[in-house]
Structure 1
Amino acid sequence: MLKRSLVGLLCLVLCITFEGYGQKQYQWKEKTEDGYTYKYVTNDPMGARFYQLKNGLTVVLSVNKKEPRIQTLIGIRAGSNSDPADHTGLAHYLEHLLFKGTDKFGTLDWNKERAYIDRIDSLYTVYNQTTDAGKRKHIYHIIDSVSGVAAKQAIANEYDNMMASLGAQGTNAHTSVEETVYEENIPSNALDRFLAVQGERFRYPVFRLFHTELEAVYEEKNRGLDNDGRKMYETLLSTLFPTHNYGQQSTIGTIEHLKNPSLKAIREFYNKYYVPNNMALIMAGDFNPSYVIKKIDAAFAYMKAAPVKEYAPAPEKPIKAPIVKEVFGPDAESVNIAFRMPGALDTRSSVMLTVMSMVLSNGKAGLIDLNLNKQQKILGASAGVWSFKDYSVFLLGGKAKQDQSLEEVKKLLLEQLDLLKKGSFDESLVKAIVNNAKLAELQGLEDNGSRAESLMDAYIKHKGLQWTSDVAYLDEMGKVTKKQIMDFANRYLAENYVLVYKRKGEDKSIAKVDKPAITPVEVNREARSTFLESMMKIPVTPVEPQWLDYKKDIQQSKIGPADVLYVQNKENGLFRLYYRFEMGSWSDKRLGMAAQYLQFLGTDKATAEQISKAFYNIACNFSVSASSEETTIAITGLQENFAEAVKLFESLITTCKPDDAALAALKDRLRKSRADNKLNKGAIMRGMIQYAMYGEKNPYNYQLSDQELTAITARELTDLLHGLMGYKHSILYYGPEPLATLTPAVQKAHVLPTTFREAPAPVKFTKIDQQENTMLFTDYDMVQVEVTWVRNTMNYDPANTARIMLFNSYFGGGMGTIVFQTIRESKALAYSTYAVYGSPDKKDERYTIRAYVGSQADKIGEAITSMNELLDDMPHTEKIFTTARDGIKQDIETERINQDGIIFSYLSAKKLGLDIDYRKEVYRAVDSLSYGDIAKFHDDNLRHKPYTYCVLASSKNVKEDDLKKFGAVKKLTLPEIFGY
């Protein structure tokens, strides 16, 4: 359910109507199959099987044969809540270390390595207990020296390389307050190999390469210090929960604890919580559950159950009056109002909380949506729920318009709560909320990730014991009455909130984690453990790739002058209709603004608010988006409401009335958004990269000037919208309606001219040549420094596609690549780093190489030098090359492009001048490529070439003279970057 996400638990019988969705019985049943007993819930749309092995390990399996892949999650019911109070961040540390291998993999010779690992363990114990700065520095120097020797026996990233060799995708993990979860998406035929690795992974993890990984965690902490959103989150939790560990223990850990790690404490945490009766293995995808459960049992039977004492906090005392906090930072201002609510274990309260939050904010027809966002009384506002086991958090958030105070935003948000408590909403809204929730679940069922996440969430919160309530969640939502919502709101929402103002200004409380002295360690790229060799001998059943044949997979027709591209939905009653125009903001800068303006307009027959309600009531939606060269209108929802939805939209876009007040408000909000963009480091860096690629005049700063924005009238925007259908566009449809009956249905609602008007010629932007090394620098108040390398190369050639994919997989496109191994694993210079050779999206455009390092400011020289060395001289590692090549083939073998993805694949190929599925040629060509081919590609395109460096940092931390060592420095102003 919805307490997890709107695409969490989904309906398996997709063709059912909403009227027949409820009225079902959800009961636990038990069944034995091939010697294994499992439990299931009747009418569970995911058909989830809940097993508990003899040692207590929970296994939950959900079959979905949409594609030959499996989403796997291995979860432990222990997160930062369970950290020792004197070692916060420990669960997160451990998560990182579970990627380092065991005594069987990740090592050349464990017998030789072990003595050094034990020595490092002892040194950290002494280091942890030492307070004298000089002595600590001396001990760390010894740790660094011994770690360097130990690393000679380590095989860095062997886990990542094993997963890549299996064809795994999304190799990752996360730690939160109540959980640590390890994530993999694997091909179905790699299941046996995967389980061999995972069974070994948790048997006896070795905490090798610890001090370089610790530095990566330092970098992660520093990135959090630069993230105003993260600071607001932690401030909210610490204030809402003055007793509970939700608020008292940071997941990444305090700076003091980060500086004083204890391998002994980490091992104790592992032994205490990483036991089978506190773990779950979730799988969703294409497999035979009877076969899988036997394999899982065999792989994890060695694990022994042990008593686990769950975190049991003392109850929080009620908040009796508003508590106000302030957070400072360079990003845009905002306000959050948070209420402490009952936790997820209280199912009834969870249902009420979900419905209540959506009455306020559902994106279309909630009180906040209509009263604040639709009327543009605020830059943007929303409501939502953070659902934890012991408590939940109900959150209101908003951003101020130009010349609007955060106090005014707070007042407007609280006014919506008053309306909620008074019942100033129509009872029909509740029914619409439930119908839209069911629609979202229908849309999400095919995603294995959503299935697995829902099941893991249930395990973390209640070990799956309340799955009957979870399956019945939507039915329970449908029973909620207006009076119950009012009573619930009046009971829980009073003066008992925490208010956090995010204000612009210097955060004087920041104390970054300083860089320790680290000597680069060996990564032994060519080495393979005997375990890896044996794992690779486990047989796999080949999977045949499936190619698209656009002529067969897409039906084509005409409606007047418009081309129709059609793929039938044979699975459920959902449709997606698109009008795709071959013109965008490069043809008319006003298009993006017109697309936004439309949502605030009404017609002679209905106001903007009434139109939003009408769409929401029929569980349909529309959107208009304008990119640089295309404009896309999307209308989606239930096929049974197709005609009504299309009619509603066509009436709106062809008869919308100019509204001067709405336009004035939109202009004010756009001005504020533009100002906020200049405060956002991500937006600034994106602009710098475009400047590096295209020069002074580039797509990023091709914006309406302040004068142009002011001059635009309501009439010219509505004229633009009224006339849009007269321009050339294609009609794309994915849904259950047969083409023969769809065409007249669309023709009836979608009025087209006899011939299309010619669109304005788009502005042309040309990528520039990098003639010499140049440092583009922009000053930003931040702890870290971010550097992106940019170089434009040759024109697009489809014959290069396989070579480029293989190069990226080898060089810098993932965690098992040369760049990641060198800069993060060996040298500990960054938490995040990559280097990819980017392909254009249309023919006659040029490729661009982009590399990135995000590190501490005092590492900038080392970080730039290290990346430059790799760009100039690419190390040769046959093992990584073979893994990269095999991984590409496995990805293609198990990829299934379906639904409207078929249409968009065709359109993308068409832009590149192709009329076939390019993957077929890549699959054939990649086998013929050798390391020499990508080495030559590297030398021809990257080696000793000039680059434009985009450097985003604080001028207090980075000196211009240091940058000049790498190239001429050009300081970019924000108006140069943004164009306004």
Structure 2
Amino acid sequence: MKIKLSIMLLLTGLSASTLKAQGPYVWKTGKSGAYNYKYVTGDPTHSRFYTLKNGLTVILSPTEKQPRIQAYIAVKAGSKTDPADHTGLAHYLEHMMFKGTDKYGTLDWTKEKPLLNKIDDLYEQYNSTKDEAKRKEIYKQIDKTSGEAAKFAIANEYDKMMTGMGGQNSNAFTSFEQTVYTEDIPSSSIDKFLTMQAERFRAPVLRIFHTELEAVYEEKNRGLDSDPRKVQEALFAAMFPNNNYGKQTTIGTIEHLKNPSLKAIRKYYYDYYVPNNMGVILSGDFNPDVMIAKVAKNFAYMKNKPVPPYKFAPEAPITSPITREVYGPNPENLTIAFRFPGASTRDARILNLVGSILANGKAGLIDLDLTKKQKLLSGSASADILKDYSVLTLRATPAKGQSLDDVKTLMLGEIDKLKKGDFSDDLIPSITNNYKKSKIEQDESYVQRASNLMDDFTSGVDWRTDVATIAELSKITKADIMAFANKYLHDNNYVVVYKRQGADKNVIKVDKPPITPVEVNAGKQSPYVQMINAMPANPVKPVWLDFDRDIQRAKSGNVDVLAVQNKDNSIFRLYYRFDMGSWTNKLLPMAAQYLQFLGTDKMSAEEVSKSFYKLATSFSVNTSTDLSHVIISGLQENFNPSVTLVENVLANCKPNEAALTSLKARMKKSRENFKLNKSAIMQGLVSYAQYGADNPFNYTLSDEEIDAVTADQLVNILHSLTGYKHTILYYGPQTATQAGTTLSQLHKTPASFTAYPVKKQFTRVNQSKNMVLFANFDMVQAEIQWVRNEATYSPAKTPTIELFNGYFGGGISSIVFQNIRESKALAYSTYANYAQAQKKEDNDIFVGYVGTQADKMNEAIAAMNELLNTMPESGEAFKAARENIVKSIETERITQEGILFSYLAAQRKGLDYDIRKTTFETAGKLGFAELNAFHDAELKGKPYTYCVVASDKRISDDDLKKYGELNKPDIKQIFGY
């Protein structure tokens, strides 16, 4: 289940009478050619809202910064409107909308259609049959007929079209009341895009269904392995016994997954995929006067029809706490939630502000009272704004030795403070200031613009509310918040979910059905796709970085300043960059953590946080293995006080023994929790595969070393940080010279820098034979990664590697995905990637991945190994991958501080130029022979280390030993503590 939310966008909290007087933010109407539209005065995104004759909503937000367009096609229907006897249906349909129509995705529709009709009927029989023996016989017929139908299908022609036109991030998602299809395309390909989208939604064909159904089974099993998903589902089930928010889940029940009905899916499409229930949202490089005519022409065929209304019985008030328990392998945590009215109400709009008062990551009640004082490991608050109801959710993770009931008492205590108004008078103005910064940053991005517009459309929120947010926030008082909190937040009207560690006895996995691999015809192409590919696209001239031209240089004292000027708005981002990290000093990450709990001789830690938040300034010290950054971002009007505050904190932070004691306990508890995270375990195995038992992942402080650390040691690291050589990176309204002059007064450095300590060196293992690294984890699925160390970095290989990744393992139309998921239904998620090193002296690495059911592990490994030894040739997929690289680079624009980081990344690779130019000029000339030669030289017949995370109750040692010498490092060996 994915719930996509706009955070901090609905914060008016105004009465109906106040809404009538909106100052500069009012709806107006305009006209361009034959099309009327609405817009909000004062809207910095200049968004236009059209309603076509057939009821289709079209929202256009033009911006010329990049020659690309973020597109959302949104349907106001999701799992909430699933039939009660076919839950998961909206999500099924989302998957099937990628399968094509009678025009594409098929080699011969007249021969395919009768077979698909037969499959329809067989599923109806299967759905209504209870006798298991008869069901198995029917399923055999489904499997057989599906194989026959697949001979006429072309899998993923949709993705190939998108790839060929330079599309990126092709995807879709379903939540309670929205199903959204998302694409990021070159603006030059808009005619192709609209033509194929109109066809896509005209008459989708539910082909290659049973293998896609197996992918949904896998997604369900992944959900059964996800403790956060189980918590969310338990929470909503308790909160909404009458509404489908709680009565059904987005992915559906196991019983319904096992008994799908294609006819029910098709009925859902005809009921809800109608123009008056849909929106086309576009943001990017286009002329809205031209764009609206294009959209209207392509979608004019759609016919308006009534949409079945969703009806539900209102929820009864919660009069006593409702308690639920969820079990799983992840660390314990607690969730508390209160119910509120839906998105279109005044109270839902003010709820986001309440969430920010409770927790905003800096100066909220939970931040200062609980997190800053280390009374718990972590705590947060957020508002989920849905159409029918909204939810205020508080989440917390206990510290060492702390019970979940202790956590509950602490979190509810912060609710009491909210009700009493026990928070700073300047907190609401500070939130307003931070929102001002956030809104500016969001409006910079064509992707974020489209996302915000889409969210408001699907939840029925007035866009004017978004535009007016900053102005309206200033009108809300502490008294308003107190009245609101006392109205809704009582001692007994909440749901609490205890996430406990332990085996979940209720998990029943979706069993693997017998599936015969189907033909995907990857190398074939329908006439429709040929027509789309032949459509003209306006040429776009690529733009390369010229590091001498695009980067301004100056000095701040004896520190180099690299700058890119922000000529668009008042945002600045400042970095002090150090060529040292945890490999240089294992205490550096701990010192960076310690800093957030320290004050100075004149300010407490809480006052420091409040001061940053009041300035709308973000400040952090981030460390990696070999780099560290002091990062400051905010509004240029607050540049001087922000930098001054950072310098003061770094230079004058004072040891705090109590904070250190709590930090040590916090670190140990976090580390214990980290060892219960399957992704972290896999990360450890991959590092072990690359470097052996002594590797970067487990190069960390032991518990004994943590105990021995003193406050003075950590504070001395922070005090001396700017005494090491570093570079200043600046993106903001000032020039490099101006920034350097300003910083020379604020950022004091010594006459000569301290030399960096000697860095820890790691040596990659020479993989001479197959190995298997296994870690046990209580889960339904099995996750496998193939790891192989490759040669050192070579820029000459970059074009080939980029094309290889796109063709072989990098997307929906890739060879790996097509073979393992589409044809054989062995995984929900699978990929392969050859990653080039980040430094010229380092090795490249190849990683392949399959997440599958444990009982399909051997089949999945065999499928990936077959591809590693023999790469199939698909001419159309190869052309699409090659075209995608060319068009993606052609329309890519590296901007803002991305220019600076691109320059520094190139330096680390020994380059003084933009390597994208080489890739652009070379990739288009590569043929399949070059790609196959690369595959054979780097992957074929090579030894790999198989990293496997799974339950030892589902995977046997004998199975694992088939693939290489078995090593089962224990958790301490993996993590180093």
Matched letter for residue 471 of structure 1: V
1:24 Cα shift?
3.5
* 2:737 corresponding residue in structure 1: 740
CA deviation string 1:341-375 (max 9, x = no partner):
111110x2123211111111111111111000110
For residue 197 of structure 2, what is the aligned residue in structure 1? Answer: 198
Is 1:5 the equivalent of 2:2?
no
Corresponding letter in the other structure for 1:511: I
> Counterpart of 2:444 in 1: which secondary structure?
coil
Deviations 1:735-771 (A, max 9, x none): 1123333222111111111111111011011221211
Is residue 695 from structure 1 mapped to residue 692 from structure 2 by the alignment? Answer: yes
> Aligned equivalents of 2:899 and 2:4: distance in 1?
32
Partner SS for 1:723: helix
For residue 141 of structure 1, what is the amino acid of its counterpart? K
Match of 2:18 in 1: none
Which residue in the other structure is 1:251 paired with? 250
Alpha-carbon distance in 2 for matches of 1:419, 1:857: 49
1 CA distance for matches of 2:448 and 2:309?
A: 27
For the residues of structure 2 that align with 1:739 and 1:762, how far apart are their CA atoms? 32
Which residue matches 1:365?
363
Give a deviation string over 1:700-726, Cα, whole Å, max 9, x none.
Answer: 000001111110000010011111111
Gaps of 5+ in 1: 11-21
Aligned-pair CA distance for 1:842: 0.5
1:115-514 alignment runs, 5 A limit? 115-346=114-345, 348-462=346-460, 466-494=462-490, 495-514=492-511
Quick check: 1:80 aligned with 2:83? Answer: no
Matching residue of 1:621: 618
- The AA in structure 2 aligned to 1:402 is K
Aligned-partner Cα distance in 1 for 2:103–2:305? 24
Q: What is the match of residue 961 of structure 1?
A: 958
CA drift at 1:107: 0.2
Counterparts of 1:939-954 in structure 2, within 5 Å, are 939-954=936-951
Pairs within 5 Å for 1:562-711? 562-711=559-708
* 1:847-890 alpha-carbon deviations (Å, 9 max, x no partner): 11100000001100100000000000000111111111110010
* Aligned counterparts of 2:843 and 2:488: Cα–Cα separation in 1: 58
Aligned length: 965
Are the counterparts in 1 of residues 547 and 913 from structure 2 also a CA contact under 8 Å?
A: yes
Q: Are the aligned partners of 2:622 and 2:628 in contact in 1 as well (CA < 8 Å)?
A: yes
Equivalent residues of 2:377, 2:398 under 8 A apart: yes
Deviations 1:83-120, CA, capped at 9 Å, x for gaps: 00000000000000000000000000000100100000
Is this contact kept in 1: 2:730–2:736, CA < 8 A? Answer: no
Task: Judge which range, 453-462 or 833-842, deviates more.
Answer: 453-462
Contact kept, 8 Å, 1:3 with 1:351, in 2: the verdict is no
Amino acid at match of 2:859: E
User: Does structure 1 retain, via aligned residues, the 8 Å contact 2:328–2:499?
Assistant: yes
SS in 2 for 1:30: strand
Q: Distance in 1 between matches of 2:884 and 2:694?
A: 39
Asked if 2 retains the 8 angstrom alpha-carbon contact of 1:351 and 1:477, the reply is no
Instruction: State how far apart, in whole Å, the 2-side matches of 1:762 and 1:716 are.
Output: 19
**Alpha carbons of 1:722 and 1:23: their partners in 2 closer, same or farther (altered >3 Å)?**
farther
d(CA) in 1 for partners of 2:467, 2:548: 41
| Cα distance in 1 between the residues matched to 2:737 and 2:936 | 55
Q: Equivalents in 1 of 2:530, 2:781: separation in Å? A: 40
Contact in 2 for aligned 1:787/1:854 (Cα 8 Å): yes
| CA deviation after TM superposition for structure 1 residue 31, in Å | 1.5
Deviations 1:578-622 (A, max 9, x none): 100111000000000000101110111110111111111111121
Map 1:721-760; keep pairs closer than 5 Å: 721-760=718-757
Q: State the distance in 2 between where 1:850 and 1:840 align.
A: 13
Residue 9 of structure 1 deviates from its aligned partner by 9.3
Q: What is the RMSD of the two structures over their aligned residues, measured on CA atoms?
A: 1.3
Kindly state the Cα deviation for residue 802 of structure 1 after the two structures are TM-superposed: 0.3
1:977 aligns with 974
Q: Any conservation in 1 of the 2:562–2:736 contact (CA below 8 Å)?
A: no
Tell me, in whole angstroms, the C-alpha distance in 2 between the residues paired with 1:173 and 1:180: 7
Q: Contact (CA 8 Å) 2:8, 2:352: kept in 1 or not? A: no
Deviation of 1:966 (Å): 1.3
TM-score of the superposed pair, with normalisation by structure 1: 0.97
Distance, in Å, in 1 between the alignment partners of 2:561 and 2:73 is 45
Alpha-carbon distance in 2 for matches of 1:7, 1:115: 52
Residue identity matched to 1:484: D
Measured after TM superposition, the shift of residue 23 of structure 1 is 7.5
Secondary structure in 2 matching 1:5: coil
Alpha-carbon separation, structure 2, partners of 1:501 and 1:149: 50
Give the secondary-structure state (helix, strand or coil) at the position aligned to 2:338: strand
When structure 1 is superposed on structure 2, of 38-47 and 685-694 the one drifting more is 38-47
- Is contact 2:105–2:153 with CA below 8 Å preserved after alignment? yes
Residue 8 of structure 1: how far off its partner (Å)? 5.9
> Percent identical across equivalent pairs?
55
Please state if 1:558 is matched with 2:555: yes
Answer yes or no: is the 8 Å Cα contact 1:774–1:969 preserved in 2: yes
1:124 touches 1:263 (CA, 8 Å); kept in 2?
yes
Q: Counterpart of 2:541 in 1: which secondary structure?
A: coil
Q: Which residue is equivalent to 1:801?
A: 798
Q: Secondary structure at the match of 1:500?
A: strand
> How far apart are 1:813 and its partner, in Å?
0.8
SS state of the match for residue 355, structure 2?
helix
By how many angstroms is 1:256 displaced?
A: 0.3
Aligned residue number for residue 16 of structure 1: none
Deviates more, 1:902-911 or 1:875-884: 875-884
Residue 857 (structure 1) aligned with residue 854 (structure 2): yes
Aligned to 1:18: none
Q: CA deviation at 1:927?
A: 2.2
Contact 1:6 1:440 in 2 (8 A): no
SS at match of 1:585: coil
Alpha-carbon separation, structure 2, partners of 1:664 and 1:298? 67
Q: Is 1:784 aligned to 2:805, yes or no?
A: no
Cα deviations by residue, 1:154-208 (Å, 9 ceiling, x for unpaired)? 0001111110001000100000000100000000000000011101001111000
1:369 maps to amino acid: D
- On the 8 A contact 2:230/2:326 being kept in 1, the answer is yes
Closer/same/farther in 2, CA of residues 363 and 799 from structure 1, 3 Å limit = same
Q: Do the aligned partners of 1:351 and 1:473 also contact (CA within 8 Å) in 2?
A: no
Write the letter of the residue equivalent to 1:231.
Answer: K
CA distance in 1, matches of 2:430, 2:4: 17
Residue identity in the other structure for 1:795:
T
How many angstroms apart in 1 are the aligned matches of 2:30 and 2:578?
A: 54
Alignment-mate amino acid for residue 887 of structure 1? N
1:9–1:441: 8 Å Cα contact kept in structure 2? Answer: no
Q: Please say if residues 319 and 497 of structure 1, whose CA atoms lie closer than 8 Å, have aligned partners that are also in contact.
A: yes
Provide the secondary structure at the position in 2 that maps to 1:239: helix
The answer for the alignment partner of 1:13 in structure 2 is none
Amino acid corresponding to residue 85 of structure 2 in structure 1: D
- Deviations along 1:651-710, whole A, 9 cap, x unmatched? 111111111100000000000000001101011111111111111111100000111111
Q: Show the counterpart of 1:14.
A: none
Question: Structure 1 residues 206-215 or 757-766, which shifts more?
Answer: 757-766
The secondary structure found in structure 2 opposite 1:177 is coil
Rounded to whole Å, the distance in 2 between the matches of 1:204 and 1:370 is: 55
Q: Give 1:3 shift.
A: 11
